[in-house]
Amino acid sequence: MTEPGKQPPVPRPGVSPELRLIEVAIWRELLRAPAHREHAWRHMVMASLDAGRVDARTLVLRECDDVARELVFYTDARSPKLDQLRTTPGAMLVAWSTDLGWQLRLHCHFEVATRGLGVASRWARIRCTPAAQDFLFPLPSGTAIPQPAEADVTPAPPPLEHHHFAVLTARVDEIDWLELGAPRHRRARFDASGASWIAP
């Protein structure tokens, strides 16, 4: 999020005004998404590599920093995706919004944090909310269980320690934006070298 007093992202030279406006609009929507439950981009599919095999799952977008070009997600520290991202930090996020008619494909570099101030402060914020239950589950996700009931969490005061809470930070290196519209679709790529139109 652009904090008060901080400068918004610097427009890049050589980028056409139309593409610049689109890039600004993309980040504006990404900034809105975490706080608006109805925003379609609050849910993103993250695809990663698992020893050469593709793995993918839905994640809730929790935070956006348009200046650092970073997106933040919460997850269980025992999740297999942590090791996948430690081994191969390059992963993709995909999101579609029917309201906007926009698909985003984000090439990202992920960082995994299971301890430190960033983890502790976020856990302190959510530990008394229903979302905390996701990180207090007694078994790692993907563990075989005889029946769903076996996996019930015993309600208990959430611990101060964030035993299974982890934070994933995705630095967005490239945005592939697709607009489905009439009379034509539009698609553009935004990366460190600038922005360009590409065939849809």
Ligand X SMILES: Cc1cc2nc3c(=O)[nH]c(=O)nc-3n(C[C@H](O)[C@H](O)[C@H](O)COP(=O)(O)O)c2cc1C
CA atoms of 190 and 18, how far apart (whole Å): 12
CA atoms of 200 and 39, how far apart (whole Å): 24
Cβ proximity to ligand X, 15 vs 104, nearer residue: 104
112 bridge partner residues: 168
104 bridge partner residues: 95, 177
CA atoms of 24 and 121, how far apart (whole Å): 29
Cβ proximity to ligand X, 83 vs 179, nearer residue: 83
The b/e string for 7-30 (b: 16+ C-beta within 10 A; e otherwise) is eeeeeeeebeeebeebbeebbebb
Cβ proximity to ligand X, 106 vs 195, nearer residue: 106
Residue 64 CB, shortest distance to ligand X, in Å, is 14
Cβ proximity to ligand X, 34 vs 102, nearer residue: 34
Residue 79 CB, shortest distance to ligand X, in Å, is 3
Contact 77, 119 (CB under 8 A): no
Cβ proximity to ligand X, 43 vs 107, nearer residue: 43
Residue 135 CB, shortest distance to ligand X, in Å, is 9
Interface residues with ligand X (CB under 6 A)? 43, 55, 57-60, 73-76, 79-81, 141-142
Residue 179 CB, shortest distance to ligand X, in Å, is 24
Element (H, E) at 21: helix 17-32
Residue 46 CB, shortest distance to ligand X, in Å, is 8
